[in-house]
Structure 1
Amino acid sequence: MDNTTVSIIAGVVLLGFVGLYLYFYRKDKNSIAAATKAAPAEAQKENGPSKQMQLAAYERLVILADRIALPNLISRTNDPSFDKRSMQQLLTQTIKQEFEYNLSQQIYVSAAAWDAIRNLKEQNIMIVNQLGAILPDDLSGLEFNKKIVEFVMNQPQGSMHGLVQEALSYEAKKLLS
């Protein structure tokens, strides 16, 4: 993998992190302003899903973010007999299945929280597929997994799943106050 490709992938991931951060920052400011102005929002909240259901949904999404975090996913699905293509397919399929299993949680969480989870899923699939396209085809599944973990760990801005978990935790705590 040449430096240009790594730089492009790192740039795309960095832009994703920055966009997610700015989105949640702006959304938080807007929600505080809206909460101070609008009393009808309280009436809508009473008619909406219960706090317990919302908190349970945020909890499940935090678990989902942890389960589809690439290092955690690799440690669960690592099979030394797989080649690169088989491992790539297994990782993307597992990410999609985990996401689909929790699809109903979007009913109980904010649009921003759901967007964060969806973006995490898409980013992880993109990393797996882009590294799969760049790395040699004769790579073993184990070596492919090592390259993915190295790539994720070398991100200077940190892991996106950690940011998503923090954002979900923040929104869940707002429900409690």
Structure 2
Amino acid sequence: MIESPYFPYAFALVIAIPFLIYARQFVYSYIKFKNQELNFMTVKGQSEQRIHAYERITLFLERIKPANLVSKFDEDLEAHEFLFLTEKTINEEFDYNASQQLYLTKNSWTKVVNSKSSILHLLHKTYENLSNESTLQDFKTVFLMNYMNEQDYISSCIEDLRKENLIIN
């Protein structure tokens, strides 16, 4: 047998190559698994954020329903004070929830904005059509009647959000 000074190195290399290949495969598989796990967590996190956005927008829409608006604030207010406070409350809550548009479709967000605008328009239209000696109770009654005579766009918007949420998730 020919003894070469490089024989021990060659022998060590022959034995080390399978272990290096195995280690490389292990590291590659581990990185691939971690990337899949990260992607899953990202999708899950986005899904949870989307669900939370739908919940917050639905709550906003429920709060601006006329039946809920007329029960707010003190009964001793004048109609113009009630109008001011209600409009302020709606706008503040809308501004607070505006970031949720990132998680809704453009069509749904447009419906939410239209619902808010329609309620504000209905409030002002009701106030303008009342006589000066009308009480707050008269204003609230006429406001509810006007809303009932129109299409229930808030409930329609909530139903569309519900359907959209089921499709996405």
Q: Secondary structure at the match of 1:137?
A: coil
Structure 2 residue ranges without an equivalent (≥5):
1-41
Q: CA RMSD in A?
A: 2.0
Match of 1:96 among 91, 106, 110: 91
| Inter-partner Cα distance in structure 2 for 1:175 and 1:81 | 46
Q: Is the 8 A contact 1:84 1:138 kept in 2?
A: no
TM-score, normalising length: structure 1: 0.67
Please name the residue that 1:160 is paired with: 153
* Larger RCO (CA within 8 A; separation ≥ 6): 1
Q: Is the 8 A contact 1:61 1:102 kept in 2?
A: yes
Match of 1:132 among 118, 127, 147: 127
Match of 1:105 among 100, 109, 112: 100
2:165 pairs with 1:169? no
Q: Secondary structure at the match of 2:90?
A: helix
Match of 1:67 among 59, 63, 67: 63
Q: Secondary structure at the match of 2:77?
A: coil
Match of 1:149 among 144, 150, 153: 144
| Inter-partner Cα distance in structure 2 for 1:145 and 1:51 | 39
Which of 1 and 2 has greater Rg? 2
Match of 2:117 among 109, 119, 122: 122
Match of 2:76 among 81, 87, 92: 81
Please name the residue that 1:12 is paired with: none
TM-score, normalising length: structure 2: 0.70
- Report Cα offsets for 1:121-147 as digits up to 9, x if no partner: 000000000111111122222221111
Structure 1 residue ranges without an equivalent (≥5):
1-45
| Inter-partner Cα distance in structure 2 for 1:131 and 1:151 | 8
Q: Is the 8 A contact 1:55 1:175 kept in 2?
A: no
**How big is the shift at 1:94?**
1.4
Compare 142-151 and 161-170 and name the one that shifted more.
142-151
Letter in 2 for 1:83: E
